[in-house]
Structure formats: structure tokens, C-alpha cells
Amino acid sequence: MEIFKKLKPYYWPFKKYFICSMIFLLLVTAITVVYPMILQLTIDEVVMKGKYNWIPYLTIGFIALMAVKGAATYINQYTGDLFGITSVYKMRNSLYEKLQYLPFKYYDNAKTGDLMSRLTADVEGFRFFLSFGFSELLRFLLLIAISITVMVYYSASLTIVTLLTLPFLAIVVYKFDRAVHPAFRGIRQSFGRLNTKVQESISGINTVKSLSRENHEIGKFNHSNGDYKEQNIFTSTIWAKYFPLMELLGNISVVLLLAYGGNLVMKGSLKPGELVAFYSLVWYIIWPIVNLGFVINLFSQAKASGERLLEVLEADNEIEDLQASIKTERLNGEVEFKQVTLRYEKDLHEALFDISFKALPGEVIGLIGSTGSGKTSITQLMTRFYEQSSGEIFIDGKQVNRYSLRSLRSSIGFVLQESFLFSTTIKENISYGRPEATMEQIIAAAKRAQAHDFIMELPKGYETVLGDRGMGLSGGQKQRIAIARAICVDPSILILDDATSAVDMETELNIQRALKEVMKGRTTFIIAHRISSLKHADEILVLEDGRIVERGTHDKLIRNSGPYQRIYSIQYQDQQAILSSQTG
């Protein structure tokens, strides 16, 4: 029950629905046990003694009980469902909120399909047990308890003989639970992997088709689907093994009842009607215990789902606000790194080592180097997407972790290498970081990013709804909208992470001209592979293997025979070759 204890804050606030459901469940169960007693009276008093004048009263009483039971069942089921639905509503919101605030480090190892499975299938598995499984478990226990009480009233000795097999039945049920729980956890994990495979395949369908890898993806899906099938077959094998054994033990109880009970009737120690009632009551005990396997099935699924939900809910959020965090409307934009080192994992090589530099407000800092040299890592530390392993980072003279995350990140405009756009209007995409922005401000941001003209050529202009991940736009168009989104925030610090990589050189030149105006008064970090994007920078940092190996202006670095000069020579030669081929 440890899983349910940990998840108690999500369902116990709605205990009023649960308690109401249980009250009416008790009433329904009590009426159910009255049926055999009415049968006993009908046989022993009406049939055996000829009291046929009792029939109308028994009939009216039975109909009344049926009506009460029907109303009680409705309230029991409705409040039970309300308990489960409202509980998982709160739980699903908490899960989504947790996922929103978990750091980048968590998503480095997480799989989208698996997380989607937790928010859908696992939440629903837990809800079904709260709404139905928990109620069924209590109904079974109440039915067993009340039935045994009535049976003891009729005959204590027959009760003992009839229930001799129950301890063995309980042992089988316990072993079944021990076997089926890991099996259901395996099903949940396998379903998560299957979901991930589908999500990845659909998201990467362009790559799949462009490389003619459809059969390869079908094979991988068949493998994942086969694993999910095998997990279900394994679970069915457990059911097939234990269920007949449980049913056998239940039937042995019936045999003992008929043998010993029939003997008591012949001796006159038990009335025929009481034996018939006893037969009905014993099934009220046997079937709940046998069907306890079904409830255990639900319970095991809920436990497996609960474990997976807790893995998210209890995930360590390493990056949080301090209790006395600084909240500010706007930063000045002074950034300083002092001997900063970063390891993404303790046993991995340093992604950054001994990084030190200072950027004054309004300065432009260029970052260049080969892939994996640490350019993006520097900007991710600035925004606290990750925490440095050692060293200090200051913004406006204060350590970066002293600022509230909202204040810090709302003052930084970030354009990533991969421009993600939401499936909504272009207008809402541009104003995403500043929902209160006016239409004039949105258009101004789009114009500065050289996006206004192509937006106006679309059928609905700024009201055009984009497809999934900006489907329908070219890479360059998506990137320009992402730049407009960053400009719209009006940030103190602007980070352009290879922001013009997907546009042609003419468009890049136009964007750079527009950005020069935008950069005024803002501290700007430009990550680029093209030296043409960095020529105007106040300082350029050249990185290799997480270290700064050169620094200076373009004119200074070009005179050194170092890495920057070699990159420049390669790019200059490439440009000359292109020009020669065009003129030739």
C-alpha cells in the first residue's frame, strides 16, 4: 500500500465522494445478503408450512428492496466514479505541471512516448481502480463478512466445514498477486516503449521517407509490438495457471456444504430452506474470493501505474528558486563567468572547463567552435537550464541562482538551433513569450526578423494556423518567426544559437542588418558557424573541447595563426570557389 500512501494527497481531498459511495455500498451489500434469507423464508414458512398468505407480503417486500437497491447502486456508482475522476484530474494536472518545471537534464534521458503513456494510460489505470476496483474490493470484503455472519446464525458447524478450503484459497490469491504485479509493470513499460516508437516514427516521417526506411521502421514497430504482445501473453499465462485452482477450491467448499449440510437436514438439525440459503451464501463468499483475482488484477495495474506516476512526481527538480530569490522587471545585461566548469553527469568528461569572460551591457559576444565544443552549454548555464559543476556566474553583479527563474528567463530572448513552433496562429507564436503584446508590437518584431513580407503572403496573414511543429513553412521561415518571437519579448539579453543557419546568405544579411538595430542596448550572444555572422562582435570566444582557446575581435583573431584564422580560411576558400563556379 506504500504506492497509495504516497499518492494519497491526490485522492484523499475528495474523500467525501468516497465515503458517500461506501455508505451506499454497505446498503447495497446488506440488501444482497437479504435475498437468500427471503428464499429461506419462502421454502421453510410458505412451502413447507403452507403459509401462502405470506406470498403478497414477501413479494411487496422483495420489490421494495429491489427499488432501494437500484437507487443505492446508482448513488454508489456515481459517487465512486466522481471520486476517481476528480482525483485523477488533480493528479494529471500535477503531472503536467511537474513536467513543465523539470530541468533539461531530466529530458536528456526521458522519452516523449513514454511520458505521454504515463499521462494517459497510467493515469487512467489508476483512475479505474479508484472508481471501480477499490469499491469492488470493499464490496467483496463486506459481502464475505455479512455472509459468514448469517451462515454462523444458521449453523456454526456447517460454516466451519464449508469454509475449510478458504485458507488455501487465500494463499493461492496471495501468490497470484505476487506473480501478476511484476507482469503488469512489464506491460506498462512495454506499452510506454511502443508509444515512444510510434511517436518517434511519426515525428521523423520526413527522414524515414527520404531515406526509404519504411520497412526498417515497420520492423522496429513489429519488434516493440511483439514485446507488448509477449508481455500480455505472459500475464494471461499467470491467469490461466491460478484461476482454475481458485475455482477448484471453491467447488470443494460446495461439495463439503452439500455433503455435511444434507446430513444435517436428514437429522433435523437444519431446515431445507436454511440449506438452500446456505448454498447461496457460500457463493457470496467463494465468488468474491475467486473474483478477488480480478480485483487484484486492477490493483496490480494501479500499483504499476502508480509507481510510474511517482517516478515523475518524485523526480528531483535540481533547479528551483531560492527562498529569498530576486524578482526584477528587467536586467541590465552584464554577464560574467568566473572559472566555470560543467559536467552533465558526474562520470562524464567536462562539457565546459575553466570558462571565464565578462560581457558588458549592450556588447555582442560571438561564440564559435566545432560541434560539441561547448558553445550552447555556455548560454544554457546563463538561463539556468543546467547548473554549473563549479565556478560562479553573475548577471548584473549578482549570482545567477539568486534571481527567480521567471525574472531571469523573461529577460532573456532565446532563439534555438531547432525552431519549434506551436500548432496555433503565427500571431500567437510570435507573442508566445509576451501574451499581452499588441498587434503593432507583433508586426514590428516580425519586420525586424524579416518575416513580415512572407507572413502577409499567406492566406490569413498573422491569423494563419500552423501545422504540427510549424509544418507548411520552410526552415528559414520557421527560424525567422522564432527570431521574431525572441524580439517580441524585448529582452535585456539576446541569445542567437545558430539562428540564421537555415536561411540563405541574402536573407541572413537582411536579418543581420535588422538585428543590429535590435541589439542596441542589449547584451547579445551569437553562436554561429559562419564567421560572417560574428564579424561585428565586440569579442569572439573560440572554443575547443569545452575550453576557450582564443578570444578577441575579428580583426585581431584574423591576424593570429590560430583556430579562428583556420576556420576563416576554409570558409573564405569555399566562398571563392562558389563565386568562381558561378562566374565561370
Mean pLDDT of 198-203: 72
The residue that leads in pLDDT, 576 or 450, is: 450
Return all residues near 456 (Cβ < 8 A) that are at least 6 apart: none
Instruction: Write down the pLDDT at residue 394.
Output: 93
Instruction: Write down the pLDDT at residue 523.
Output: 92
Instruction: Write down the pLDDT at residue 579.
Output: 47
Q: Which helix (H) or strand (E) holds 493?
A: strand 493-497
pTM: 0.72
- Convert the pLDDT of each residue in 526-535 to its tens digit: 988 878 778 8
Residue 476: pLDDT over 50: yes
Q: Closest by alpha carbon to 3, among 235, 291, 315, 299?
A: 299
- Cell match 545585461: residue? 333
Mean pLDDT of 317-321: 79
**Using CA atoms, how far apart are residues 299 and 259, in angstroms rounded to an integer?**
36
Strand partners, 526: 366, 496
Is the separation of the CB atoms in 480 and 451 below 8 Å? Answer: yes
Return all residues near 442 (Cβ < 8 A) that are at least 6 apart: 427, 430, 431, 462, 484, 488
Residue-range domain boundaries for the chain: 2-313, 325-411+492-584, 419-490
CB atoms within 10 A of CB 308: 23
- Convert the pLDDT of each residue in 24-51 to its tens digit: 988 988 888 888 888 888 887 777 777 7
Residue 430: pLDDT over 80: yes
Quote the cell numbers at residue 141: 470484503
Distance from the first to the final alpha carbon of the chain:
79
> What CATH number should be reported for the domain whose range is 419-490?
3.40.50.300
- Convert the pLDDT of each residue in 44-82 to its tens digit: 777 777 777 877 887 888 888 889 989 999 999 999 999
Confidence bin at 368 (pLDDT 50/70/90): very high
- Convert the pLDDT of each residue in 154-176 to its tens digit: 888 888 888 888 888 778 877 88
Instruction: Write down the pLDDT at residue 514.
Output: 63
2-313 and 419-490 agree in CATH topology: no
Return all residues near 177 (Cβ < 8 A) that are at least 6 apart: 296, 299, 300
Instruction: Say what percent of the chain tops pLDDT 70.
Output: 92
- Which of 2.40.40.20, 1.20.1560.10, 1.10.10.60, 2.120.10.30 is the CATH number of 2-313? 1.20.1560.10
**So what CATH class is 325-411+492-584?**
alpha beta
Q: Between 272-290 and 134-154, two packed helices, what is the crossing angle to 10 degrees?
A: 150
Return all residues near 67 (Cβ < 8 A) that are at least 6 apart: none
